[in-house]
Amino acid sequence: MLKGISWDHPRGYQPLRAAADIWRKPSGIDLQWDVRTLQEFGDMPVEKLVDLYDLIIVDHPYMGEAASKGLLLPLDEYLPEEFLAVQAGESVGPSYESYRWNGHQYALPVDAAAQVAVYRMDLADAFGWQPPVSTDELRTAAAKLPGKYYMAVPLCPTDIWCVFLTLCAQYNNGEFFSPSGLDVEAGCYALDQLGEWSGFLHRDSFHMNPIQMMDRMVSEDEIVYCPFSFGYTNYARRDLSGRKLVFMDAPRRRADGVSTLLGGAGIAVSSRSTRQEASMDFIRYVLDPVVQRTVYYRNGGQPGHLSAWKDPVCNWDCGGFFSRTLYTLEHAYRRKGVPGFNRFQEQGADLVHRWVRDRAATSSCMRQLNNLYQTICYEAV
């Protein structure tokens, strides 16, 4: 038996289990998919998984750390060049390159995502409200919402960090990291924005993750719009139980600049796996373009292949989720991912979340963040 681990949301495990069920017939191999929480997906060290699982769904900022410790197999040494060429050509924005480190491909995008905007079009249309195009218009747009309606952003510690990086990237068009850490001017801008937002966002914003926020949006009528949340096509589908959400490109600081933070998920193989050939065979199956836009999508997945994002049937089924957000994905910011980056993210997220609560000086927060970066992160030799 092969074992794999994904994250605990239907988008994360359902399509992989469905694909494994179909793959079992020609391969004769059982593949069991376990799950971990969404926070663990972003924060749990891969070291804790490589001895337990053959296939691991990973977050791309972990590539530098995984490569430096030899935790994942370099897929370019096991998979055919022509197969990898197809994967590169099917990349949604920088997804494919995000799993590459020092000339090797340590995972392949099975799922593509970035922070996008989402809103209740039915409510917005009812009172003639238009979503903002620019990040600088958020306060004005929020003020135009009728009294009992709100703008919200998922800003629990993990997600406030992602929004913080998006704002830094928009400020400096993606160029804000150096060996010294984050650009101070960009970081102060991002912190000032978050501090300002606390005055008009929904009161629960700083406690929610994207799934919790979207669950509120489909079950209640308070939250009309969110400018920055990782998209979930599940909430836009025709068979959704509850109010459907409409996704669109996120607001940007510059019309031609970087959009938002890249997310998504990659499929990787543990370097400790004793079933390497079978693992590679499943990867070839689940990343076949036809499987991506049929089996994978139909079972709740958010495909990592561009052909699925452009597929008219997929788009019809989810209200144009893919076509309405593709620009954002194509211009997304990819995190640096140097060794130690995941530990830096985890501690930096708590620091930024506390700063918004306590509202200390932005310069002090930036000094702490950069001291943290210099202490934890390092460039691979």
Pairing of strands 31-36, 246-248: unpaired
Question: How high is the pLDDT of residue 240?
Answer: 80
Q: Residue 201: what are its φ and ψ, rounded to 5°? A: -75, 160
Amino acid at 126: A
Reading the block at residue 86, the tokens are 């197809």
Question: How high is the pLDDT of residue 380?
Answer: 46
- Helices then strands, counting H and E runs in the chain, come out as 18, 13
Question: How high is the pLDDT of residue 360?
Answer: 75
Domain covering 115-248 in this structure, CATH number: 3.40.190.10
pTM exceeding the 0.75 threshold for the entire prediction: yes
Question: How high is the pLDDT of residue 345?
Answer: 93
Q: May I ask the CATH architecture of the domain 2-113+263-311?
A: 3-Layer(aba) Sandwich (3.40)
CA nearest neighbour of 303 among 108, 64, 98, 77 = 108
Question: How high is the pLDDT of residue 381?
Answer: 37
Alpha-carbon distances of 8 from 12, 22, 147, 148, 378, rounded to whole Å:
6, 21, 36, 33, 31
Q: Tokens 């985890």 appear where?
A: 346
Question: How high is the pLDDT of residue 242?
Answer: 77
Q: Crossing angle, helix 341-358 and helix 362-376, to 10 degrees? A: 160
Contact 42, 345 (CB under 8 A): yes
DSSP secondary structure string for all residues of 87-150:
HHHTBSTTHHHHTEETTEE--EEEE--BEEEEE-HHHHHHTT----SBGGGHHHHHHTS-TT-E
Alpha-carbon distances of 24 from 140, 276, 321, rounded to whole Å:
54, 16, 31
For the chain, residues classed under CATH 3.40.190.10 are: 2-113+263-311, 115-248
Reading the block at residue 251, the tokens are 């607001």
Question: How high is the pLDDT of residue 313?
Answer: 97
d(CA 51, CA 101): 22
Reading the block at residue 283, the tokens are 């990867």
d(CA 248, CA 236): 11
d(CA 259, CA 93): 11
Q: Residue 232: what are its φ and ψ, rounded to 5°? A: -130, 105
| Residue spans of the chain under pLDDT 70 | 42-43, 379-381
Question: How high is the pLDDT of residue 42?
Answer: 65
Question: How high is the pLDDT of residue 379?
Answer: 64
Q: What does the buried/exposed string (b/e) look like for 98-114 if buried means 16 or more CB atoms within 10 Å of the residue's CB?
A: bbbbeeebbbbbbbbbb
Q: Residue 239: what are its φ and ψ, rounded to 5°? A: -95, 10
Contact 325, 116 (CB under 8 A): yes
